[in-house]
Structure 1
Amino acid sequence: MKRRLAVAGVSLAVVLGCGTLPAVATGSVPAAATTTAAAPDVDVNKVKAHLNELSAIAGRNGGNRRSTGQGYRDSVAYVKGKLQAAGYTVTEQPCTSGCTSGAGPNLIAEWPKGDANNVIMFGAHLDSVSAGPGMNDNGSGSAALLENALTLAQQNPTMRNRVRFAWWTDEEQGLNGSDFYVRSLPSTERTKIKAYYNFDMVASTNGGYFINHITSSAAAPMKAYWDSLGLQPEENTEGAGRSDDYSFEQYGIPTSGYAMGASARKTSAQAAKWGGTAGSAYDPCYHRSCDTLTNINTTGLDRASDGVAYTLWQRAVDTGTGGSCDTAGVVGNGGFESGTSPWTGNTGTIGAHSGLPAHSGTRFAWLGGNGATSTESISQTVTVPAGCTQASLSYWLYIDTDESGSTAYDRFTVKAGGSTLATLSNANAGSGYVQRSVGLSAYAGQTVTLTFTASEDYSLQTSFLLDDVSLQSG
């Protein structure tokens, strides 16, 4: 993870229930493709074997694997050799602009099965800082992804979507490798990437369990897995804008990922929940020479590796459950961070409005607030997946009003097609955002237009601030 601190954009949130939690795979693995409903248990000892190799590479190259050194290039060669032997289509992408002079290439590996128009991407930076070998930062994420890639090839399940892995160069110098990759993609290729998952520092010795954009659609399977272990994960606020997922967020691609923390200090509440030492850094060897093989939390590494597998299976593998539960893109631009499309109607209400806050990110839809007779609406058409159950539309709404009393003068309605699902008013005003939801289970498998409308009477404003629209399971 790099040091620069920036505010990350918030991707749309789309979450639905998708099958069962993972079970440990047992027995021999058939050579032919098979349909399997459960994600495999990724062997953490094999993940650690990759770490051993990366450590040895650093030891032969001045004690580090910085992007401009031979240690990085040897790391690329090691990962590439494993992937090619497993049957991946592997590409070295030289970073020809924006990277540090002399930086090695990005490594991109694609499993050549599944729908190429629906790509689920997993990435980790492969470079270290100059100060040390970078076993946690970010050998841990790199090794976890490598073993997941090899496990996918070994299991060889029937694929629903395409899976692409990436190991990034020059992250420590400014997210340069991943930025170059996304920037270089034609827009048609970017739109094929339905979600990007990032793994940066997933074995911190005093770490916690953090998820990027924990309420987003991309995060849903990641959170479901860690919830199944009783880990009570939290939002990765320390890592916002500091790792390669940010490069994808800049282009409106939904993102998530696991992390266990860097130089920020563990709180007392976190120590009570997860163990470890309150008041101490999540990784006491962050960007230091002591980030060696002794600086690895094996339990955390195991949980992250298995969570990657669970997420991969949920998003890309044909689980044999009788219907697709892949929710990527169901609600487009639900956080309003990527312009106005695909919203229609009074899209001028969408923006980074001064004087009033977004629920998350910087942009939201400000409906109403005119203090005069007016009606403003925004809509988009979605298809509710048929393979999921108990679907509900969730949204965050902040109602600010100059009206008083309990009479409903100004109203906010939520519609699906021609049916009104919810009506709120100035009488529901409060001091901040409240998450609300309406049922959409009746529309499973159907395409329907969702409409949010604010109607004001002749005087006294009521503002309805709408943000983070999502589709969730009940």
Structure 2
Amino acid sequence: MRNRFRNSLAAGAAVAAASLTLGLAAPGVQAAAPAGAATAAAPDIPVANVKAHLAQFQQIANANGGNRAHGRAGYRASLDYVKGKLDAAGFTTTVQQFTASGATGYNLIADWPGGDTTKTVMTGAHLDSVSAGPGINDDGSGSAGVLEAALAVSRAQLKPDKHLRFGWFGAEELGLVGSKYYVNSLSSAERAKISAYLNFDMIGSPNPGYFVYDDDPALEKVFKDYFATLSIPTEIETEGDGRSDHAPFKNIGIPVGGLFSGADYTKTSAQAQKWGGTAGRAFDACYHESCDTSANIDDTALDHNTDAIAYALWQLSTGTTTPPGGDSYENTTDVTIPDSPGAAVTSSITVSGRTGSAPAALKVAVNIVHTFSGDLVVDLIGPSGKAYRLHNSSSDSTPNINTTYTVNASTETANGTWKLKVQDKGPQDTGYINSWKLTF
């Protein structure tokens, strides 16, 4: 990630146009899926695979003066490593060349065959480090996460409805030079074909936070929905706004989204309480320093964020793919929700006759009639007793909840009693559980 004191680029994407381009519902509106169709389940990305790429980046830096910076041998060796993996996996790769600060720079672009090229979902990260160190979190983590998500696409032999493109940009640390060059190289017609750009710059910070870009509401919701399945609260990303490679895309009106685990800002006590880690310490104390090595990574944050990349790719590109199974179980019995300070109520669904674990993308359709949805806390309770937060209480005065959530329930057995648990946390408003449904 480039230095925070550089000027950020202007925003250019309109919210309404972004939502229409992506084919997603605007905030608060449930997108209608084609009859009988569902989104294919994204795979769980092994964090060991991601760390193996980081180990390679560290070795490359060690062999090339301690860094992978623009214009240095370590950068080109990093690009060759990523390109070799993608070529072997069946991607069509292109190396784009440019000049910055008197040195030759390179972008790597990789396209997965198939999908509607007029609706391209692009995912990217910057591959260069600063000259002071190997840049394993900034931005080896994002580069490795995007690479492993791309390789997961190949392993699944995914046939997405939308076209998938991946990018690794050079000279980001000099002022987003590589991504600007890429965007400027596109014709107006080519720009119009990119329906979303997802950016991942620092996703394994050692004292991590979970920050989501808020540049486009539809893309923001995809990531928030994923982290809700893990019961991990998120915050809006402000520390790095305009400081990374999404900015040139946003500046020409392409909807952008992404994730960030924090750089040199200090974690507050409130953030440490909800995420763990150390309050009063930077999210990454080795930001732009020589100590940004393979030891400067939080494995849990790296794991969650890489899984979120895959989740977003599958959600955004395979909306009409019908996965195997697709059996649904529903409870339509009304359950009254007592007004605050009433106790929580539950509605149960018993699943039987299935084998193995529940899916990593279990669909939970919830229909609650209530005069003030912000009063409600809604959890899915798995057969093990583990709670998965679906909806938090808030100041939202919108009535009713009629939403399908996606829950990573892969640690649960499919068979057993599942419960929807609802509690009213605010006074005066009332309602009831109308129905809810599980789709495996």
TM range (shorter): 0.5 to 0.7
> Within 5 Å, which residues of 2 pair with 1:52-63?
52-63=55-66
Question: What amino acid maps onto 2:183 in structure 1?
Answer: V
> Is 2:44 the counterpart of 1:44?
no
Distance 2:108 2:199 in 1: 15
* Shift in CA distance, 151/299, structure 1 to aligned 2, threshold 3 Å: same
> Is 2:93 the counterpart of 1:90?
yes
Distance 1:158 1:164 in 2: 13
Which residue is equivalent to 1:212? 213
Question: What amino acid maps onto 2:169 in structure 1?
Answer: W
Distance 1:8 1:269 in 2: 31
Question: What amino acid maps onto 2:98 in structure 1?
Answer: C
> Within 5 Å, which residues of 2 pair with 1:132-211?
132-211=133-212
Which residue is equivalent to 1:237? 238
* 1:126-147 C-alpha deviation (Å, 9 max, x unpaired): 0000000000000000000111
Which residue is equivalent to 2:123? 122
Question: What amino acid maps onto 1:50 in structure 2?
Answer: H
Q: Give the C-alpha shift of residue 12 in structure 1.
A: 3.8
Distance 1:41 1:128 in 2: 28
Distance 2:32 2:201 in 1: 27
* Shift in CA distance, 246/199, structure 1 to aligned 2, threshold 3 Å: same
Distance 1:93 1:11 in 2: 26
> Is 2:84 the counterpart of 1:64?
no
* TM-score for the superposition, normalised by structure 1: 0.63
Distance 2:32 2:259 in 1: 21
Question: What amino acid maps onto 1:260 in structure 2?
Answer: S
CA contact (8 A) 1:91 1:108 kept: yes
* Shift in CA distance, 252/214, structure 1 to aligned 2, threshold 3 Å: closer
Q: Give the C-alpha shift of residue 244 in structure 1.
A: 0.3
Distance 2:303 2:200 in 1: 13
CA contact (8 A) 1:69 1:103 kept: no
Question: What amino acid maps onto 1:77 in structure 2?
Answer: D
* Shift in CA distance, 166/140, structure 1 to aligned 2, threshold 3 Å: same
* Shift in CA distance, 273/5, structure 1 to aligned 2, threshold 3 Å: farther
CA contact (8 A) 1:5 1:240 kept: no
Q: Give the C-alpha shift of residue 5 in structure 1.
A: 4.8
> Within 5 Å, which residues of 2 pair with 1:14-413?
14=19, 16=25, 17=30, 37-96=40-99, 99-213=100-214, 216-320=217-321
**Runs of 4+, deviation exceeding 4 Å:** 17-20, 434-439
Distance 1:44 1:116 in 2: 30
Secondary structure class of the residue paired with 1:219: helix
Q: Give the C-alpha shift of residue 101 in structure 1.
A: 2.0
CA contact (8 A) 2:212 2:258 kept: yes
Q: Give the C-alpha shift of residue 172 in structure 1.
A: 0.2
CA contact (8 A) 1:214 1:234 kept: no
- Figure out how many residues of one structure are paired with residues of the other and give that number: 316
Question: What amino acid maps onto 2:111 in structure 1?
Answer: E
Distance 2:225 2:162 in 1: 20
Distance 2:43 2:399 in 1: 35
Secondary structure class of the residue paired with 2:103: coil
CA contact (8 A) 2:204 2:297 kept: yes
Distance 1:438 1:273 in 2: 28
Distance 2:283 2:113 in 1: 38
Distance 2:31 2:305 in 1: 19
CA contact (8 A) 2:215 2:255 kept: no
CA contact (8 A) 1:38 1:313 kept: yes
Secondary structure class of the residue paired with 1:261: coil
> Within 5 Å, which residues of 2 pair with 1:447-466?
none
CA contact (8 A) 2:199 2:246 kept: yes
Distance 2:304 2:230 in 1: 9
Secondary structure class of the residue paired with 1:217: helix
Secondary structure class of the residue paired with 2:144: helix
* 1:439-468 C-alpha deviation (Å, 9 max, x unpaired): 9x9xxxxxxxxxxxxxxxxxxxxxxxxxxx
Secondary structure class of the residue paired with 1:198: strand
* TM-score for the superposition, normalised by structure 2: 0.68
Secondary structure class of the residue paired with 2:145: helix
Distance 2:143 2:233 in 1: 24
CA contact (8 A) 2:96 2:108 kept: yes
CA contact (8 A) 1:210 1:261 kept: yes
Question: What amino acid maps onto 1:296 in structure 2?
Answer: I
Q: 166-175 or 266-275, which moves further after superposition?
A: 266-275
* Shift in CA distance, 250/438, structure 1 to aligned 2, threshold 3 Å: farther
Distance 2:151 2:175 in 1: 29
Which residue is equivalent to 2:2? 2
Q: Which has the larger radius of gyration?
A: 1
Provide the aligned C-alpha RMSD in A: 2.5
Unaligned runs of 5+ in 1: 21-34, 323-387, 391-433, 442-474
- Percent identity, aligned pairs only? 49
Q: Give the C-alpha shift of residue 236 in structure 1.
A: 0.7
Distance 1:226 1:18 in 2: 19
Q: Give the C-alpha shift of residue 389 in structure 1.
A: 11
* Shift in CA distance, 10/280, structure 1 to aligned 2, threshold 3 Å: farther
